[in-house]
C-alpha cells in the first residue's frame, strides 16, 4: 500500500533502514508488524535482546540521518522510500522491495519499460560492440536500458543507450564513481538518464554491496540480457535473480573457445532465451507475464498479541545452519504458530544470529 510520509516519518524510515542487521526482509517484517518505522525503532532493543543479543544494536543517531539527507541534497539527489507513490513500480513488486533508493537525474525513467544489459568487465571488442548496438536499438524501440556502470559490457550498454535514456545502478553511494575513468560517463548519465543507489551518499562499494546492486538492476527490468559471462561471473547472479523475480532472461551465444561465453552458453542450456538482436528481446517481452503482485510473507497479529514463548527463538536457532532453508520448513519443524516463528526469526536476525533472505529463505550465522 502506498502512502505519503511526513518529513519525520521519512527520517524514521531512513534510520530503520540504516540500522545494524536490518536488511530488506527484516525491514519489511518490522513495518508489517509495527505499522510505522518509528514504532519499530522503539521496539528494536527488546527484540534484539529476545533474540540473544547482549550488546545494543547500532542505530544511526538523528544527527547522522540529517548528515545523510544533507549529503544527498548537496548532490541534487532524491530519496524515495518504498511505500511512497513515486517509488518505481517494478521495484515495489519485489518481495521484499529495497526499503529506499537514492536517485540522481531523471527518476521518471525508472517507471518506463526497462531492459537490463549486463556482462563481463573484461569484455571482448565484439561483445562490447554487440552490447552498444543492442542498447541503441532498444532505445530506438522506446525501451530504457539499465546496467551497473562497470567496465566492459556495462559501459558499452550505457554508451549505446545514452541518447534515449539509461539507468546506472551503483553498489556504492549515489556519488561513488567506479571505476574512476567512468567519471565522464557518470556525468552524462546524470544529465540524460538516471543514477540509482540503495547505499548512503559517500559510501564506497564493498564486495557485499554488489549482490544488492544486481537485485535492483534485475528488479527494475522486464528482461535481462547477458552478453558475456564466465562461469563465476556476477552477471550470472543478476540472471538468477531475474529468474527468481519472474523477469525474462536472455543470453548471447558465443564461441566455446572463449571462456567469456561459458556462462552465457550455460544459461541457454538451462532455458534462457537465445539473443541475437533486438527482435529476440522484443519477442521475449511479448511473453512477459507482468510484475508479480507484492505480498507480505509475515502477515500476522502485532508482536504484543503473540503468546510469550520464551524459548522459541532458541529452538528456531537450533534448526538453522549455513545452508538456506525455507521459513515454512522452520514452522513445520517447531510446530509453533507461523506468526510466532516469523517473529522469532526477526529477533534472531536483529541479534546477528540469522540472515533472512529474499524468497522466503533463512540461514544461520
Q: How far apart are CA 28 and CA 201, in angstroms?
A: 23
Give me the pLDDT at residue 292, please.
61
Give me the pLDDT at residue 359, please.
82
Q: Judge contact between 77 and 55, C-beta under 8 A.
A: no
Question: String of b and e for 121-140 (b: at least 16 CB within 10 Å)?
Answer: bebbeebbebbbebbbbbbe
Give me the pLDDT at residue 298, please.
40
Give me the pLDDT at residue 358, please.
84
Kind of pairing between the strands at 78-81 and 100-105: antiparallel
State yes or no: cis peptide before 96, omega within 30 of 0: yes
Residue with cell 510466532: 340
Q: Judge contact between 123 and 153, C-beta under 8 A.
A: yes
Q: Are residues 248 and 326 in the same domain?
A: no
Q: Are residues 181 and 136 in the same domain?
A: yes
Domain of 353, in residue numbers: 303-364
- Among 286, 316, 341, give the residue marking a domain's end: 286
Q: Which CATH number belongs to the domain containing residue 195 in this structure?
A: 3.40.50.450
What is the pTM (predicted TM-score) of this model?
0.91
- Among 252, 286, 320, give the residue marking a domain's end: 286
Q: Which CATH number belongs to the domain containing residue 354 in this structure?
A: 1.10.10.10
Q: Are residues 216 and 121 in the same domain?
A: yes
Q: Is residue 89 part of a domain?
A: no
Q: Give me Rg for the CA atoms of the chain.
A: 21
Q: Are residues 154 and 233 in the same domain?
A: yes
Q: Is residue 65 part of a domain?
A: no
Over residues 67-115, the pLDDT tens digits come to 999 999 999 999 999 999 999 999 999 989 999 999 999 999 999 999 9
- Among 286, 319, 341, give the residue marking a domain's end: 286
Q: Is residue 209 part of a domain?
A: yes
Q: Is residue 93 part of a domain?
A: no
Give me the pLDDT at residue 309, please.
54
> How many domains does the structure of the chain reveal?
2
Over residues 145-202, the pLDDT tens digits come to 999 999 999 999 999 999 999 999 999 999 999 999 999 999 999 999 999 999 999 9
Instruction: Give mean pLDDT in consecutive 10-residue pieces for the chain, a chain of 365 residues.
Output: 87 97 94 93 93 92 97 97 94 94 97 97 96 98 97 98 97 95 97 97 92 95 96 92 94 93 95 96 86 50 51 92 92 90 93 90 91
Amino acid at each position: 500500500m502506498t502512502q505519503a510520509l511526513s518529513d519525520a516519518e521519512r527520517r524514521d524510515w531512513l534510520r530503520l533502514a540504516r540500522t545494524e542487521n536490518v536488511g530488506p526482509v527484516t525491514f519489511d517484517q518490522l513495518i508489517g508488524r509495527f505499522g510505522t518505522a518509528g514504532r519499530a525503532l522503539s521496539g528494536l532493543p527488546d527484540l534484539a535482546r529476545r533474540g540473544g543479543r547482549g550488546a545494543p544494536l547500532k542505530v544511526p543517531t538523528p544527527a547522522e540521518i540529517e548528515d545523510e539527507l544533507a549529503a544527498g541534497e548537496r548532490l541534487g539527489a532524491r530519496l524515495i522510500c518504498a511505500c511512497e507513490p513515486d517509488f518505481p513500480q517494478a521495484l515495489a513488486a519485489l518481495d521484499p522491495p529495497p526499503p529506499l533508493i537514492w536517485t540522481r537525474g531523471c527518476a521518471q525513467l525508472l517507471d518506463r519499460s526497462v531492459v537490463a544489459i549486463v556482462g563481463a568487465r573484461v569484455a571482448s571488442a565484439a561483445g562490447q560492440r554487440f552490447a552498444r548496438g543492442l542498447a541503441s536499438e532498444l532505445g530506438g524501440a522506446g525501451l530504457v536500458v539499465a546496467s551497473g556502470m562497470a567496465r566492459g559490457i556495462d559501459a558499452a550498454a550505457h554508451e549505446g543507450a545514452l541518447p534515449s535514456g539509461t539507468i546506472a545502478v551503483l553498489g556504492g553511494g549515489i556519488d561513488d564513481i567506479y571505476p574512476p575513468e567512468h567519471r565522464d560517463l557518470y556525468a552524462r548519465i546524470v544529465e540524460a538518464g538516471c543514477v540509482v543507489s540503495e547505499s548512503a551518499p559517500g559510501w564506497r562499494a564493498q564486495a557485499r554491496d554488489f549482490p544488492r546492486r544486481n537485485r535492483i538492476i534485475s528488479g527494475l527490468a522486464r528482461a535481462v540480457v547477458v552478453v558475456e559471462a564466465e562461469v563465476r561471473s556476477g552477471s550470472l547472479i543478476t540472471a538468477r535473480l531475474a529468474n527468481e523475480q519472474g523477469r525474462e532472461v536472455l543470453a548471447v551465444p558465443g564461441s566455446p573457445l572463449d571462456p567469456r561465453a561459458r556462462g552465457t552458453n550455460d544459461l541457454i542450456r538451462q532455458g534462457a532465451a537465445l539473443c541475437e538482436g533486438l527482435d529476440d528481446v522484443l519477442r521475449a517481452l511479448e511473453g512477459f507475464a507482468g510484475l508479480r503482485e507484492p505480498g507480505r510473507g509475515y502477515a500476522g497479529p502485532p508482536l504484543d498479541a503473540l503468546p510469550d514463548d520464551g524459548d522459541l527463538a532458541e529452538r528456531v536457532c537450533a534448526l538453522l545452519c549455513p545452508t538456506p532453508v525455507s521459513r515454512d520448513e522452520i514452522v513445520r519443524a517447531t510446530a509453533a504458530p507461523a506468526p510466532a516463528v516469523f517473529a522469532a526469526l526477526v529477533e534472531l536476525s536483529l541479534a546477528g544470529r540469522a540472515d533472512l533472505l529474499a524468497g522466503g529463505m533463512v540461514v544461520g550465522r
